[in-house]
């Protein structure tokens, strides 16, 4: 998935969002049947433990082949599907130079 | 000199006299039983690397009442170095903290060849084990004394987690975890000193504190020293976290926050920090925190920044954070928190 011609790179907006949403849905059961909207604050909706945050970070870094720098590890950037998607796209732009 | 954490025993003509597979009469010398018990009481883990039939050897150990002292015994026909590799992965401690004892020079050399950091000892010196400085910690904490039990409880927990059908947080809920936060007392200091030395991932500064330094802080009205203990239905994890808070004027500064890596997967890493946030808000003080970035503590950085701490100033690896206390969250619902302030 690291080549520039791969599906994730070809349609960044859709797949990044989809992937992050899917990961959250699979791993936060407190959400139950509630609809998770892309702008919902996941910290308000359900408890995000320190270990889950680490797993989420590892998922983002390995799936999208980005490295999240220290100053990006903030509540704002991780608060919702929307924000995380923006972050990934921003980091990929930096990577492409 | 780095202290050793685990002694790995060969069986035939080392832990016991005789060769089991040759049908010898197997004898365990009383001093060996004493040695194993003494090391166990000192918090030194022990295991086995023996070329034998697994079930026969385990039955023999049961007969001698010694089986319970050994974690993940490696009894098979593989090389001893591969048994050490397996133990390193299972116990998650550095190879340079292992001591391997065997009567055969070939086996000791094979281990040294693959793992030069493992100290090897001739079985002829077996009665000297308890006198070795690397196996003689100056202080033995309550947590050290029950270290083997803690590993065995963790093993049972891991097994039931593997068997558990369902999402991870449901499993965590089923553990019935209780985290107790209290002010440190004199008898906690050895353990706290040990925690500052042994913890690297969930550690906000990586700075070591000595017993004497901690003792001074304990009596200092300008500091709060908090300790937390975690229990679940399998037993106690022991004292697994601490926080040191400096109080001056209308502001508190968290000088050190750490949680043992034993608890990393239990989703309790944020609780102590949430406790301090709740308490600062209730007291109407500002809340700052010192953070020193190391190559190991990214998870602690993430924990702070996701708890809404922001960088106020920075000098190389040293950060000063502030939390404006605009977001105060409740504790996670899979752990019951008792506060004894």
Distance from CA of A25 to the nearest CA of B (A): 11
What separation in angstroms does the CA of B150 have from each of B78, B143, B175? 28, 9, 15
* B103, part of any domain: yes
A73 vs B contacts (CB less than 8 Å): 298, 301-302, 305-306
Please check whether residues B20 and B125 belong to one and the same domain.
Answer: yes
Within 8 A of B268 by CB-CB distance, chain A residues are: 49
- Contacts of residue B302 in chain A, CB cutoff 8 Å? 50, 53-54, 57, 73
> Span A5-27, mean pLDDT?
70
Residue B309 and residue B173 in one domain: yes
Q: Does residue B267 carry a pLDDT above 80?
A: no
* pLDDT band for position B159 (cuts 50, 70, 90): confident
Domain match, B103 and B172 both: no
Burial per residue of B307-332, b for 16 or more beta-carbon CB atoms within 10 angstroms, e otherwise: bbbeeeeeeeeebbbbbebeeeeebb
Q: Any CB–CB contact under 8 A between B308 and chain A? A: yes
Do B121 and B161 have their domain in common?
no
Q: Which of B296, B302, B305, B93 is nearest to B201 (CA)?
A: B296
Residues of chain A with pLDDT > 70: what percent? 74
Same domain, B321 and B222: yes
Model pLDDT, residue B333: 82
Partner-chain contact A52 B267, CB within 8 Å:
yes
- The domain of B307 spans 142-340
Residue B290 lies in a domain: yes
Q: In which residue are the tokens 């558990």 written? A: B164
Report ipTM (2 d.p.).
Answer: 0.81
The last residue of one of the domains, among B135, B164, B193, is B135
Task: Please give the pLDDT value at position B287.
Answer: 98
Selected residue of B300, B302, B324 to mutate for chain A interface (largest A Cβ count, 10 A):
B302
Q: What are the tens digits of pLDDT across the range B213-249? A: 999 999 999 999 999 999 998 888 889 999 999 999 8
Sheet with B6-9, strands from edge to edge, namely B74-75, B45-50, B6-9, B98-102, B119-122
CB contact under 8 A, A29 and B170: yes
| pLDDT for the residue A32 | 61
Q: Tell me how many domains chain B contains.
A: 2
The answer to whether residue B1 is domain-embedded is no
List, in sequence order, the alpha helices (H) in chain B: 30-41, 54-63, 80-91, 105-114, 142-145, 147-163, 168-174, 189-198, 211-219, 271-283, 298-306
> Do B176 and B265 reside in the same domain of the chain?
yes
User: Does B169 contact A43 at a Cβ distance shorter than 8 Å?
Assistant: no
Q: Nearest chain B Cα to A31, which residue?
A: B169
Measure in Å the smallest separation between the Cα of B53 and chain A Cα atoms: 40
- Per the CB < 8 Å rule, is B302 touching A52? no
pLDDT digits (tens, 9 = 90+) for B30-87: 999 999 999 999 999 999 999 999 999 999 999 999 999 999 999 999 999 999 999 9
Give chain B's mean pLDDT: 92
- The domain segmentation of chain A, as residue ranges, is 7-96
Q: What is the mean pLDDT of residues B317-328?
A: 95
B169/A29 Cβ within 8 A: yes
Do residue B130 and residue B147 come from a single domain? no
Its CATH architecture, for the domain A7-96, is Orthogonal Bundle (1.10)
Ramachandran region, residue B262 (left: φ > 0; alpha: ψ -120 to 50; beta: rest): alpha
B169 with B266, same domain?
yes
């Amino acid at each position: 998935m690291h080549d520039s011609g791969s599906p994730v790179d070809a349609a960044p907006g859709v797949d990044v969002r989809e992937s992050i949403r899917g990961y959250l849905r699979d791993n936060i059961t407190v959400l139950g049947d509630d609809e998770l909207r892309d702008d919902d604050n996941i910290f308000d909706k359900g408890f995000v433990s320190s270990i889950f945050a680490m797993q989420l970070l590892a998922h983002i870094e390995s799936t999208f082949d980005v490295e999240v720098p220290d100053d990006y590890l903030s509540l704002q950037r991780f608060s919702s599907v929307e924000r995380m998607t923006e972050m990934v796209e921003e980091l990929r732009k930096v990577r492409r130079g | 000199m780095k202290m050793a954490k685990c002694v790995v025993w060969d069986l035939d003509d080392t832990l016991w006299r005789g060769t089991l597979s040759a049908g010898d009469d197997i004898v365990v010398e009383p001093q060996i039983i004493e040695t194993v018990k003494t090391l166990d009481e000192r918090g030194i883990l022990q295991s086995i690397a023996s070329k034998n039939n697994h079930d026969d050897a385990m039955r023999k150990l049961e007969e001698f009442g010694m089986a319970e002292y050994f974690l993940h015994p490696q009894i098979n026909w593989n090389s001893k170095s591969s048994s050490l590799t397996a133990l390193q992965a299972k116990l998650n401690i550095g190879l340079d903290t292992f001591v391997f004892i065997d009567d055969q020079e070939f086996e000791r050399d094979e281990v040294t060849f693959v793992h030069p950091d493992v100290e090897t000892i001739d079985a002829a010196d077996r009665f000297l084990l308890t006198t070795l400085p690397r196996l003689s910690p100056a202080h033995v904490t309550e947590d050290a004394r029950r270290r083997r039990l803690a590993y065995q409880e963790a093993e049972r927990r891991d097994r039931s987690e593997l068997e558990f059908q369902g999402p991870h947080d449901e499993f965590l809920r089923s553990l019935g975890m209780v985290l107790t936060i209290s002010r440190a007392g004199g008898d906690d200091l050895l353990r706290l000193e040990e925690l500052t030395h042994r913890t690297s991932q969930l550690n906000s500064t990586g700075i070591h504190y000595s017993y004497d330094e901690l003792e001074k802080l304990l009596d200092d009205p300008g500091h709060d020293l908090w300790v937390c203990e975690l229990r679940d239905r399998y037993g106690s994890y022991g004292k697994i976290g601490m926080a040191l808070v400096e109080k001056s004027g209308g502001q508190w500064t968290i000088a050190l926050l750490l949680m043992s890596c034993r608890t990393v997967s239990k989703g309790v890493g944020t609780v102590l920090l949430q406790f301090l946030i709740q308490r600062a808000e209730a007291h109407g003080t500002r809340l700052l925190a010192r953070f020193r970035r190391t190559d190991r503590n990214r998870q602690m950085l993430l924990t702070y920044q996701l708890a809404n701490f922001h960088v106020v100033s920075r000098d190389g690896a040293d950060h000063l954070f502030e939390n404006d206390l605009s977001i105060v969250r409740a504790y996670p619902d899979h752990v019951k928190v008792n506060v004894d302030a």
